[in-house]
Amino acid sequence: MERNGSLLDDYVLSLLDSARPRVCFLPTASGDADHYVVRFYRRFSASCQTSHVSLFRRDQGVGGVEDELARHLLAQDLIYVGGGNVVSLLGTWRAHGLDEVLRSAWRKGIVLCGPSAGSLCWFEEALSAFHGAPRSVRGLGLLPYSNCVHYDAEPGRRQEYHRFVGDGMRAGFAVEDGVALHFGRRRLRRVVSSRPDARAYRVEPTADGVRETRLEVCYLGAEAQPSSSAANEPPARSSGRRSRAAASARGVTKLVGASPEEPEPVAT
């Protein structure tokens, strides 16, 4: 739902094995802001079966009651989490039991994605600076790394993330706006971008400080151009048989390669 295009959204939709996929929006981090929900429907309703879940409104958005939310979410092809306050997001999900529902969705192979807070939430740890000083936040832990978004957009993010990783936060990934990290199970498969110059990094502690390694990023705009090269073709649709999460920071970035070690996969 980027203002200047939909390359990242198109990339996420390309992972789905459905002509008209079921896509549900969770705008929890924004307090279920009306304008955000409207923007979601404008972007996805023409090509998808769309719905949203509101936890702050009496009308939840799916025509059901709380104990039907799990059934609804587990019937989706894609769950799209909006940006905002990740602390409020996680607290609200845990109060409603949606943290466990989303873990079940991931194990089932439903694609999970989102920008900003919708990226931070999937990781073991995340750096949040929504209000006040930067702080470490414990996420859902689907991905056993840390995450930092808006790496180029907010002053001090890089320095603070380095400080936290150096002080014991898990090694992880930092992304500039317009960059997305695509994970299959718990392994980084690709980094893609909606901006030709956007970057992503692997950040990890060392004996004498912190090492930041720039990752290879695949610009999706180049892939959209006609080419005889198979390397520039859009990704094939997935069969949905493997768990995966697509995490983004206000968009998508490009990357192929530079995968970290892969832990044992979870059961599907």
Question: Which conformational region is residue 151 in: left (phi greater than 0), alpha (psi within -120 to 50 degrees), or beta?
Answer: alpha
Name the residue among 131, 132, 130 with its Cα closest to residue 148. Answer: 130
Number of C-beta neighbours around residue 97 at 10 A: 13
Neighbours of 71 (CB within 10 A): 11
Is 35 a catalytic site residue?
A: no
- Active-site residue, from 150, 193, 194, 248: 150
The residue annotated as part of the active site, out of 30, 51, 54, 116, is: 116
Q: In a 3-state reduction of DSSP, which class is residue 249?
A: strand
Question: Strand pairing of 49-52 and 22-26?
Answer: parallel
Rounded Cα distance between 206 and 212, Å, is: 10
Rg (CA), the chain: 17
| Annotated catalytic residue 150 | yes
Cite the active site residues.
116, 150
